[in-house]
Structure 1
Amino acid sequence: MSVLNEVSFRLSRRPRSVPRARAALHAVLGDWGAGEEALQTAELVLSELLTNALCVRVPSDRQVGVRIAHSMADGLLRLEVSDAGEGRPEIRSPGPDDMDGRGLLIVDALTHRWGVSPRLGGIGKTIWAELKAPDLRAGAEVAEMAAVTVRVGQSVRVWGEWRTVRSVRAERYATGGLAVVLGLDEGPPLRVPAAEPLAVRGCGVSSPRSSGEDTPD
């Protein structure tokens, strides 16, 4: 697939990673000019793929990889979730009283196509789904980065908007953990844990192919 733009990042195997991935996807697609319907569909698909990956049995230290890419050639938005688990997920036929088993049914209904491929460069697999998105445009280079790596002059996605970073300082929480305080061009300072992943763009931001990973607490 000829890539127009892409973002890749890794997340810890925790339930909180699902809303984090959705927030990152929302920031990326917003930057690429996606409409509200496309945003909602893509977020639902990514949520189902990631939720399935978090249920797979893998070694405890393994993370989940996420890749978001858009092809100018075929107008497709591709969402990938990689895990270190074995097996191949299949569509199930849950009964009316079953509480789970509908994730891939949703993915199949909402996407142009989907499938499973061997995980590149490691054990496990990658579940991918493609949605028709011919109207997306090339946006500024965006990466998912730990807050501690953000620099003055870059922009971060907060409160649904892009804000330019005017100052960066580190401080300790009362519990001993490290926090980063970002002074922004508008609004109050942003105080977050040092390892908190943020959507960042501008001023030589790292290539989305090798963007930062979620660091376990």
Structure 2
Amino acid sequence: MTTETPPPVAGTVAEFAMRFTSTPRGARLARRLVSHRLDDWGHPYDGSVNEAMTLITAELTANAVRHGHVPGRDFALRLLATEAFVRIEVTDTRTERRPSPEKVCRPEWDEESGRGLYLVAELADRWGVVPRTGAPGKTVWAEVELPCH
């Protein structure tokens, strides 16, 4: 797990990118489109890769809406597939609210929030945060390795 530069994306097989409104509806649409796109790319809805990436997307986009929202600004999503892994990147315009992979801990059973990044850390093989390129903000990314063929 890293908090700086994500691993290179050499050998990209497929890519999907789109901007979404920073609303719960935008987050929901992003999650659904990721699930559909992964199914189109050969990762079926009921498969472990699709299920993990859909849940990771739900958490990262919900965080972008709840914690990374700046009025009048959208969040961006990028989904990449290589022969080795699938990566999701969610970019928002809030610079000062930057999660730390080193500080993610299991929430107590009676806590009402704080499970999102814990789930991301448990489901992803790697995840991190990098500054947004060319503008204020950050990109939170997560990768799930593909099973060997």
Normalising to structure 2: TM-score of the pair? 0.82
Query: Is 1:34 the counterpart of 2:43 in the alignment?
Result: yes
**Deviation string, structure 1 residues 146-191 (Cα, Å, up to 9, x no partner):** xxxxxxxxxxxxxxxxxxxxxxxxxxxxxxxxxxxxxxxxxxxxxx
Q: Among the aligned pairs, what percent are the same residue?
A: 34
Structure 1 unmatched ranges of 5 or more: 137-217
- CA shift for structure 1 position 49: 0.7
1:66 to 53, 60, 77: 77
The size of the alignment, in residue pairs, is 134
Q: Secondary structure at the match of 1:98?
A: coil
Q: 1:124-151 deviations in whole A, cap 9, x for unaligned?
A: 0000000012579xxxxxxxxxxxxxxx
Which one of the candidate residues 8, 15, 23 is aligned to 1:6? 15
Q: Give the distance between the partners of 1:101 and 1:118, measured in 2 at CA.
A: 22
* Structure with more relative contact order (C-alpha pairs < 8 Å, separation 6 or more): 2
Q: CA deviation at 1:95?
A: 2.6
Aligned-partner SS, 1:16: helix
Instruction: Give the number of the structure whose residues are more often strand, by fraction.
Output: 1
What letter corresponds to residue 50 of structure 2 in structure 1?
A: L
User: Secondary structure at 2:134's aligned position in 1?
Assistant: coil
The answer (yes or no) to whether the contact 1:34–1:135 under 8 Å persists in 2 is no
Q: What is residue 110 of structure 2 aligned with on the other side?
A: 97
Q: What's 2:62 paired with?
A: 51
TM-score normalised over the length of structure 1: 0.58
Instruction: Report the 3-state secondary structure (helix = DSSP H, G, I; strand = E; otherwise coil) of the residue aligned with 2:51.
Output: helix
Matched position secondary structure for 1:117: strand
Mapping for residues 203-214 of structure 1, pairs under 5 Å: none
Gaps of 5+ in 2: 1-8
Kindly report structure 1 stretches of 4+ aligned residues shifted beyond 4 Å.
none
1:77 aligns with 2:86: yes
Instruction: Please tell me whether the aligned partners of residues 56 and 120 of structure 2 are also in contact (alpha carbons under 8 angstroms).
Output: yes
User: Is contact 2:27-2:65 (8 Å) kept?
Assistant: no
More helix by share: 2
